[in-house]
Structure 1
Amino acid sequence: MGEVFAGRYELVDPIGRGGVGAVWRAWDHRRRRYVAAKVLQQSDAHTLLRFVREQALRIEHPHVLAPASWAADDDKVLFTMDLVSGGSLAHVIGDYGPLPPRFVCLLLDQLLSGLSTVHAEGVVHRDIKPANILMEATGTGRPHLRLSDFGIAMRKGEPRLTETNYVVGTPGYFAPEQMMGAEPDFPADLFAVGLVALYLLQGRKPDAKALIEYFAAHGTPGAPQGVPEPLWQVLAGLLQPDPHARFRTATGARKALTAAVEMLPDAGPDDEQVEVFDQIGPLPAGFGPDGPETPADGPQAPAQDVGGTSPSPQPSQTPYAPQGPGRQPYASQGGAGQQPYVPTPSMSETGSFHLAPPPAHPAPLPQAAQPQAPGPLPAHAGAPPVAQDLAHATTAAVPYGAPPTRAYTAGHLQDPGSAVLQPTPVRRPGPSPKVAVPVLVVALICFAVGIWALTQA
């Protein structure tokens, strides 16, 4: 069995990593279902504040993957989300390369739909990129996209957590005004959506810097190869370097996209059908579709290692490979004998970066003392490099099934000089005799005076 976090979430196997934590497939013992759990690796003040902001988001939308619950255990924290098994847009591009324009328009419509709800809540995402846009494993059916990872999102007007002359995000997906140090705003997210669209249409990361320079020097360029003109007009409205010339709202961009789709040619019979595969893989030993498998002789606590902690669960050892008949993955084309594409979780590129141009003589910023990060869990012998890397996620070593406290029952008190302690007399409620006797005497006197007065009358 795996480790249990806060007595509720049993960590099964790691499925990804981010800049400040690892993402695990976990079993929720309360709701009896599998979830995705993001466990923080560090506990410095900035990381914890970002965690508080992210887990506080409760955005309900079919194309938004926001946190659903959270838990804390000692110095570690996690929050959970729905488990999305189709990987990210980066996995889809790795399988197929450039995607058909109509398929891209469907994905963009879903992305803009979710983003409009996020913006309606006053939240700027600030880190829209292919790795943060997840896909349900729908196979050849209609694709279903989920916008995720609100780790650096913030509401407009909230204080920023970065220092002066720093910008937060992922290189290559910054809007020009972000690089100039402007306050986060909705058009910056829309600029990133335009870059994601180019990535899907061209099968590679666009050169945002060259694109911005061309827009500034020559105006809007012509449609790139493979991008239909009606669709390019929408993307050009997302990619304008001047935020005031860009689409101001996701709803406006979505309306323009709907009009452009009507002018696109229909899909031909030779167009390849895009299939979204399951990228997580099978459950490891000891887990089934209905949760942890209990041995016939009853539940057992996980074995303890030398250090006294439970061993971390083994990640799945089964690599992913496309299942379609005769399907050659995009990343492996170009020669015989090449290995099939195996997507591997990678460290997020999200982080803080210096704004350009830097000051001539920047003064060193004082660094606050940070607590020592917990050491990594021991890597398992025989595990592949990716599994060993993912095994470094810091999680609580709490064996499942162990009660949080010991039951305690007080024993019978005994007098050392006798077999059984004599019961102590119990004092009855009421006033003490010193108070009750005088009151009673006064009452009797008053009663006698009253009787005498009646007889005289």
Structure 2
Amino acid sequence: MGEVFAGRYELIDPIGRGGAGAVWRTWDHRRRRYVAAKVLQQSDAHMLLRFVREQALRIDHPNVLAPASWAADDDKVLFTMDLAAGGSLAHVIGDYGPLPPRFVCTLLDQLLAGLAAVHAEGVVHRDIKPANLLMEATGTGRPHLRLSDFGISMRKGEPRLTETDHVVGTPGYFAPEQLQGAEPDFPADLFAVGLVALYLLQGRRPDSRALVEQFRARGVPEAPEDIPAPLWDVVANLLQPDPASRFRTATGARKALAEAVQMLPDPAPDEDPVEVFDQLGPLPAGFGPDGPLSTAAATPAAAASATGSFHLAPPAQGTAPSAPSAPDAPSAPTTPPARPAGIAPPPRKVAAALLAAALLCFAVGAWALTRL
């Protein structure tokens, strides 16, 4: 059996690694379901502030994968989210290469729908890329994409955690204005959506710098041979170097995409359906579809009485972060059952709560000192 974190979350096996920590397939003993848990690996002030920002995000939308709960235990913190077995769009491209235009339009529509919900909360994602667009394992059915990883997202008007001349995000998916030090804004996310669209349609990572130079030197190029003209018109608008020339909102881009889909040619009769496979693999020994096969030593009560340090094994190489297999709205914090008068709460839970408060105070205070 795996280690039980904070008397509730049993970390089973590593399924990926992000910039701020490892992602684990986890059994939630309270909710009796599998979830994905991101465990913070570093404890400097900036990382703690990023953690606080990300875990505080609550967006309930079928195409958004936002944190659902969090916990602290000893010197580590984690937050959980739904578990998706389909891997990321990078897995889909790895399996198939370039994807059919209509399938791409379905994915882009879901991405823009999720992004519209994020932007409606005043949040700029800042790291839209294939690895952060996670899939449910839907087989040959309608695909289900969810926008994930809000580790470097920020609300408009919030103070930056980096200097203005330091670009945050993934190289190759920066908007031109990001490279010039502009304040984070929604059009930068839309530029990244355009790059993702090219990646899906052509099966290879686009050269964003070359595209920007081409647009600036010769205007909008003709549609590439493998992209239908109506769809290219939408993608080209997203890729405009001048943010004022792009769609103003994700909703506007989504409407234009819906109009373009009506003008696409019908799929070829021999076109094979795209299948989104299960990328997680089987559960380790001791676990089944309904949780641990033997719970005598893995219940929250047993874990709460255990002693010793909490250690994490390094995640397996070559795996990608994972997310939800079925939509499930983030749950509100659960109120613990009332205790009889005179009985103190378990010391471990008190320590975890105090640690969480201390981490937050330390992170905010340390960040504030760096700005003086």
TM-score by length of 1: 0.67
For 2:75 and 2:289, the matched residues in 1 are separated by 31
Structure 1 residues 271, 263: CA separation in 2 closer, same or farther (over 3 Å shift)? same
Give 1:208-247 correspondences, 5 Å limit.
208-247=208-247
SS of structure 1 residue aligned to 2:243: coil
Tell me the distance in 2 between the aligned counterparts of 1:114 and 1:264. 23
CA distance, structure 1, for counterparts of residue 40 and residue 233 of structure 2:
41
| C-alpha distance in 1 between matches for 2:132 and 2:287 | 27
The equivalent residue for 2:179 is 179
Report deviation, 1:294: 1.3
The gaps in structure 2 that reach 5 residues or longer are 322-344, 349-372
Partner of 2:26: 26
Q: Percent identity?
A: 80
Cα shift readout 1:61-117 (whole Å, capped 9, x = no counterpart): 000000000001122110000001100000000000000000000000000011001
Give the aligned partner of residue 318 of structure 2.
344
* Residues 315 and 291 of structure 1: CA distance in aligned 2, closer, same or farther (over 3 Å): farther
Report the structure number with the largest CA radius of gyration.
1
Distance 1:314-1:157 versus aligned 2 partners, 3 A rule: closer
Task: Compute the displacement of 1:45 (Å).
Answer: 0.3
Q: CA offsets per residue over residues 312-347 of structure 1, 9 Å max, x none?
A: 67989xxxxxxxxxxxxxxxxxxxxxxxxxx92269
Residue in 1 aligned with 2:46?
A: 46
The Cα shift of 1:270 comes to 1.3
For 1:108, give the aligned amino acid.
Answer: L
For residue 196 of structure 1, report the CA deviation from its aligned partner. 0.1
How do residues 225-304 of structure 1 correspond to structure 2 at under 5 angstroms?
225-294=225-294, 298-299=296-297
The residue that corresponds to 1:127 in the other structure is 127
Task: Tell me: CA distance 1:192–1:136, structure 2 relative to 1, closer, same or farther (3 Å).
Answer: same
Compare relative contact order (CA 8 Å, sep 6+) and give the higher one, 1 or 2.
2
SS in structure 2 of the partner of residue 91 of structure 1: helix
Q: Deviations over 1:127-159 (max 9, x none)?
A: 000000000000000000000000000000000
Shift of 1:290: 1.3
Q: Tell me how large the CA RMSD over aligned residues is.
A: 2.1
Distance 1:196 1:79 in 2: 27
Which letter maps to 2:49? Answer: L
- C-alpha distance in 2 between matches for 1:260 and 1:214: 24
Structure 1 pair 311/250, CA: closer, same or farther in 2 (3 Å)? closer
> Which structure 2 residues correspond to residues 58-457 of structure 1 after superposition, within 5 A?
58-294=58-294, 298-299=296-297, 344-345=318-319
1:182 CA drift (Å): 0.2
Q: Whole-Å Cα distance in 2 between the matches of residues 162 and 146 of structure 1?
A: 27
1:193 deviates by 0.1
Structure 2: distance between partners of 1:131 and 1:310? 29
Does the 8 Å CA contact 2:14/2:25 hold for their aligned counterparts?
yes
Counterparts of 2:21 and 2:312, CA distance in 1? 16
Q: Following the alignment from structure 2 to structure 1, what is the Cα–Cα distance between the partners of residues 163 and 310?
A: 39
Alpha-carbon contact 2:16-2:315 (below 8 Å) kept: no
Contact kept? 1:2, 1:313, Cα under 8 Å:
no
Amino acid at match of 1:116: A
Evaluate the alpha carbon distance shift between residue 49 and residue 175 of structure 1 in structure 2; reply closer, same or farther with a 3 A threshold. Answer: same
* Structure 1 residues 77 and 181: CA distance shift in structure 2, 3 A: same
CA separation in 2, counterparts of 1:213 and 1:90?
Answer: 26
The one-letter code of the counterpart of 1:345 is T
State the alpha-carbon separation in 2 of the partners of residues 108 and 160 from structure 1: 29
How many angstroms apart in 2 are the aligned matches of 1:299 and 1:37? 21
TM-score if structure 2 supplies the norm length?
0.82
Does the CA contact (< 8 Å) of 2:15 and 2:320 recur in 1? no
Q: CA deviation at 1:225?
A: 2.1
The whole-number CA distance in structure 2 between the counterparts of 1:311 and 1:166 is: 33
Secondary structure in 2 matching 1:66: coil
Q: Is the 8 A contact 1:234 1:253 kept in 2?
A: yes
Residues 230 and 260, structure 2, Cα contact 8 Å, conserved in 1: yes
Distance in 2 separating the partners of 1:10 and 1:95: 31
Tell me the residue number matched to 2:366: none
- 1:263 to 1:36, Cα distance in 2 relative to 1, 3 A: same
> Following TM superposition, by how much is the alpha carbon of 1:190 offset from its aligned partner in structure 2, in angstroms?
0.2
| 2: CA distance, partners of 1:262 / 1:113 | 18
CA contact (8 A) 1:13 1:314 kept: no
Per-residue deviation, residues 27-76 of structure 1 (Å, max 9, x unmatched): 10100000000001000000000111111111000000000000011221
